[in-house]
Amino acid sequence: MALEGWGVEPISFQTAKPFIVDWHYSHKVKGLIVQYCFGLFRPRPEFFDIPELVGAMIYSLPMMDRVRKKYNPQNPNRCLELARLCCIDDTPKNAESFFISRTLKWLT
């Protein structure tokens, strides 16, 4: 499997922000109502298996209050959207799917 040994962990916004600013096509995170941040890590045998951050993801509240109320009328502040997702260029084809699926397991 191409992603053997890879992992997904919660990370701080302070860690996610510079990665996303560098790698995401929008190059910004301004205005997001950040709720959760995750990192995608690959092992580096040449560095004593210290993992390398190769992807970052931010889940946020939808910006528009009416959207939150539409999809979760009982508790609009518990509505999440995947606001940013990016990986470095040389990640395997299925890295994004792997990343999303692991974050959904963390959230449920």
State which residues form the domain around 89: 7-107
Query: Is residue 24 included in any domain, yes or no?
Result: yes
What span, in angstroms and rounded, lies between the C-alpha atoms of 63 and 70? 13
Query: Is residue 91 included in any domain, yes or no?
Result: yes
What span, in angstroms and rounded, lies between the C-alpha atoms of 94 and 76? 32
Quick one: what percent of the chain has pLDDT higher than 70?
99
Query: Is residue 18 included in any domain, yes or no?
Result: yes
Query: Is residue 1 included in any domain, yes or no?
Result: no
Residue 2 has what pLDDT?
82
pTM comes to 0.91
Query: Is residue 2 included in any domain, yes or no?
Result: no
What span, in angstroms and rounded, lies between the C-alpha atoms of 98 and 32? 24
pLDDT tens-digit map of 4-34: 889 999 999 999 999 999 999 999 999 999 9
44 HSE (CA, 13 A, CB side): 9
79 HSE (CA, 13 A, CB side): 16
Name the DSSP letter for residue 14: H
- Is the pLDDT at 1 greater than 60? The verdict is no
Total of domains in the chain: 1
Token pair listed for 44? 């580096």
